[in-house]
């Protein structure tokens, strides 16, 4: 099942996208992310369907937190001149970085090296803390979502301190267009994903290339923090980011990103300068 949120005249509404490309709006909007309740409401939906191309997308959920994984593809670590990590590198994105799949991405004031990172997002469906093993971890995954971990490399790398200040400008986490429920994904380590800038393909890879797979990440992260329903783990990006180009290439106002992953749809975001 593909779970969406859309803007309507009545405000934000939950919805589902059928295989025929029509969107069914669900009664009400859930305050907390609950995929089982979403299914119940989908089964009871009676309103008219709308073509997907006609809806205005919001982010498909509002995460309590976005936990990101750095350097989780060996080729991405190598393009930055770094060794593959022995354990996952974790950092956070604030909930207010999240925007929809067609929303603008804002280059922050003082930004000089705004970069792109296509990633597989893992949506947590049950409260997870100190999980026993990797097999148990997969029972806590509700689904998967497309993420762009937009980064301002000047803030992240040249200004000292932690990575977080280069990762948390408003709009730096386009999410969606939908959540694909876990039952529709037989193997999260076999998803092709990529990213284009102004029509030029710059990232094209597969989650098979991850250093630490989804099961390992969910189990590992649960040892350090509690994961709640609706939290998102952004699992890292493959090679091809702007900082890895020769010479480096960064985003400018007017650029258009197309971000995609098999089964997870596409994002189309334009870059704009902060006012």
Lowest model confidence (mean pLDDT) among 26-30, 74-78, 218-222: 26-30
What residue ranges in the chain does DSSP mark as E strands?
A: 2-8, 11-17, 22-25, 49-51, 56-58, 66-70, 89-93, 98-99, 105-107, 114-115, 118-124, 141-148, 151-152, 173-181, 192-197, 200-206, 232-234, 256-261, 265-273
Reported pTM: 0.96
158 shares its domain with 105: yes
131 shares its domain with 20: no
Give the rounded distance of the alpha carbon of 67 from its chain centre. Answer: 10
157 shares its domain with 221: yes
pLDDT of residue 28: 67
Strand partners, 24: 16, 49
45 shares its domain with 115: no
The two three-digit tokens of residue 25, written as one number: 């709006």
Boundary-marking domain end, from 15, 37, 58: 58
Domain harbouring 125, CATH code? 3.90.850.10
Strand partners, 68: 91, 234
17 shares its domain with 136: no
82 shares its domain with 18: no
- Residue 37 pLDDT level (bands cut at 50, 70, 90): confident
263: closest CA among 193, 210, 206, 209? Answer: 193
**CA atoms of 143 and 40, how far apart (whole Å):** 17
pLDDT in tens, 233-249: 999 999 999 999 999 99
230 shares its domain with 195: yes
Check whether 17 has a pLDDT greater than 90.
yes
Comparing 71 with 38, the larger pLDDT belongs to 71
Comparing 274 with 30, the larger pLDDT belongs to 274
142 phi and psi, to 5 degrees? -85, -30
pLDDT of residue 239: 95
Taking residues 11-18, report their average pLDDT. Answer: 92
145: closest CA among 63, 82, 24? Answer: 63
51 shares its domain with 76: no
Taking residues 121-128, report their average pLDDT. Answer: 97
Check whether 143 has a pLDDT greater than 90.
yes
Full domain range(s) for residue 82: 66-273
Give the rounded distance of the alpha carbon of 152 from its chain centre. Answer: 17
Q: What is the chain's mean pLDDT, rounded?
A: 94
Boundary-marking domain end, from 58, 86, 103: 58
141 phi and psi, to 5 degrees? -90, 120
6 shares its domain with 125: no
The angle subtended at Cα 120 by Cα 68 and Cα 255, nearest 5°, is 90
Check whether 108 has a pLDDT greater than 90.
yes
24 shares its domain with 96: no
Q: Which of 29-33, 39-43, 82-86, 134-138 reaches the highest mean pLDDT?
A: 134-138
Check whether 146 has a pLDDT greater than 80.
yes
pLDDT of residue 134: 95
Peptide bond between residue 247 and the one before it cis (omega within 30 degrees of 0): yes
Q: How many domains does the chain have?
A: 2
Boundary-marking domain end, from 58, 80, 103: 58
pLDDT of residue 29: 67
266 shares its domain with 148: yes
71 shares its domain with 181: yes
Lowest model confidence (mean pLDDT) among 79-88, 117-126, 135-144: 79-88
């Amino acid at each position: 099942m593909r779970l969406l949120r859309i803007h309507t005249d009545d405000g934000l509404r939950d919805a589902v996208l059928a295989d025929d490309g029509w969107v069914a709006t669900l009664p009400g909007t859930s305050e907390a992310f609950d995929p089982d309740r979403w299914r119940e409401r989908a089964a009871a939906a009676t309103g008219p369907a709308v073509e997907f191309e006609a809806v205005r997308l919001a982010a498909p959920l509002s995460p309590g937190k976005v936990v990101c994984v750095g350097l989780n593809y060996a080729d991405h670590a190598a393009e930055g001149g770094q060794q593959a990590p022995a354990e996952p590198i974790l950092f956070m994105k604030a909930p207010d970085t999240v925007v929809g799949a067609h929303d603008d991405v804002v280059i922050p004031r003082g930004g000089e090296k705004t970069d792109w990172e296509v990633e597989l997002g893992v949506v947590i469906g049950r409260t997870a803390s100190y999980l026993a093993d990797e097999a148990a971890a997969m029972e806590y995954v509700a689904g998967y979502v497309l993420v762009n971990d937009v980064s301002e490399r000047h803030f992240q790398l040249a200004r000292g301190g932690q990575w977080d200040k280069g990762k948390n400008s408003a709009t730096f986490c386009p999410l969606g267009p939908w959540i694909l429920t876990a039952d529709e994904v037989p193997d999260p380590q076999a998803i092709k994903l990529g990213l284009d800038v102004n029509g030029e393909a710059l990232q094209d890879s597969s989650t098979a290339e991850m250093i630490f797979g989804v099961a390992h990440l969910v189990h590992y992260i649960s040892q350090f923090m509690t994961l709640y329903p609706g939290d998102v783990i952004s699992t890292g990006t493959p090679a091809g980011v702007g900082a890895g180009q020769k010479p480096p290439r960064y985003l400018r106002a007017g650029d258009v990103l197309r971000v995609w992953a098999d089964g997870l749809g596409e994002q189309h975001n334009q870059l704009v300068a902060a006012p």
